[in-house]
Amino acid sequence: MNSILKVIWNLVFNLTGLDISFGANYKDWTFYLIELRADYQRVKEMLAERQIVPREVVPGETRIQIVGCDMRDVQIIGSYQEVSIQVPVELMDEGPNEIYAHLYLPVTTEAARWPGVDITGFPKFIALIDIEKKESQIDCRLGNKDEPILEFRMDDFVGEEQKFIWEYYGNRKERIIKTTFELKGMVYEEEANPNAILLLGKHPISKTIRNLLLSDKVLRTVIGHNVSGFLRKPVCVEYKGKAS
């Protein structure tokens, strides 16, 4: 069914410009997030072609977040895993929430890849992802074929139930669009987790991340268990300026 939807959506969109996608329910999702310091100017240069500007958190700095996600039940798409390498960005509309852009968004299935690329404009590609729990720690590994890209480890905790919103800008057919996740789950957050570490390989993506980082020290970790919610249909936003 998913492959049929791909053909139909692209046929209608390419002929008419009409987005006939719809929202999707997410159930039983776990995520592990680490946040690190990054060079603002280098990230800005990387995003310039997409007409998206990173948010300068402190002078000369932005942040990179690496988020390992285990999606066990997604409407139509099914189960898959992904690793989001993302940065906070400047708002282009009047939304009240922080918003992010993906630098890379590898996933494990084609059913998850094509709507991310075609509908939401995310830089998704197929990769090898393994999120493994070892006693009280998790180990998230990302690779391309037999070559490691990155690995991060952190202590695992279960937090308190929260409602939260994740929003992202994507690039679709030379337009910037916004995608919104409305979520709830058991969320745990900790500053400067001493047992959280990031390891980078020799893959070109690894080298790019290493070049963007100011330090490999993890500033913050966020963990989500039993996450569920709704992914809204993406909407177009008007860019209020020009990247420079």
Place of tokens 């959506």: 9
User: CA–CA separation, 106 vs 118, rounded Å?
Assistant: 15
Q: Which residue has the higher pLDDT, 181 or 24?
A: 181
* Cβ 213 vs Cβ 37: under 8 Å: yes
181's enclosing H/E stretch is: strand 175-191
The tens digit of pLDDT for each residue in 79-123 reads 999 999 999 999 987 777 899 999 999 999 999 998 888 889 999
- The yes-or-no verdict on residue 242 having pLDDT over 50 is no
User: CA–CA separation, 175 vs 121, rounded Å?
Assistant: 9
User: CA–CA separation, 208 vs 60, rounded Å?
Assistant: 18
What is the identity of the amino acid at 45?
E
Structure letter (DSSP) for residue 232 = P
Q: Look up the pTM and report it.
A: 0.92
The tens digit of pLDDT for each residue in 213-240 reads 999 999 999 999 999 999 998 998 865 4
pLDDT band for position 142 (cuts 50, 70, 90): very high
To the nearest 10°, the Cα dihedral for 107, 217, 162, 106? -10
Give the whole-number percent of the chain exceeding pLDDT 70: 88
Three-state DSSP string of 117-153: HHCCCCCEEECEEEEEEECCEEEEEEEECCEEEEEEE
**Mean pLDDT, range 18-44, rounded to an integer:** 88
Three-state DSSP string of 38-92: EEHHHHHHHHHHHCCCECCCECCEEEEEEEEEEEEEECCCEEEEEEEEEEEECCC
For helices 40-47 and 204-212, the axis angle rounded to 10 degrees is 130
Q: Which CATH number applies to 24-237: 2.40.400.10, 3.30.750.24, 2.40.50.140, 3.40.50.12780?
A: 2.40.400.10
* Cβ 92 vs Cβ 240: under 8 Å: yes
pLDDT at 241: 44
Q: Which residue has the higher pLDDT, 21 or 35?
A: 35
Residue 145's CB: how many other CB atoms inside 10 A? 7
In the numeric block, which tokens belong to residue 126? 């197929």
pLDDT band for position 16 (cuts 50, 70, 90): low
- Count of alpha carbons within 13 angstroms of residue 234, beta-carbon side: 24
- Bridge partners (DSSP) of residue 87 are 101
Taking each continuous run of H as one helix and of E as one strand, the counts in the chain are 4, 13
pLDDT at 240: 47
Residue 135's CB: how many other CB atoms inside 10 A? 7
pLDDT at 110: 93
In the numeric block, which tokens belong to residue 174? 């030379």
The tens digit of pLDDT for each residue in 34-70 reads 999 999 999 999 999 999 999 999 999 999 999 999 9
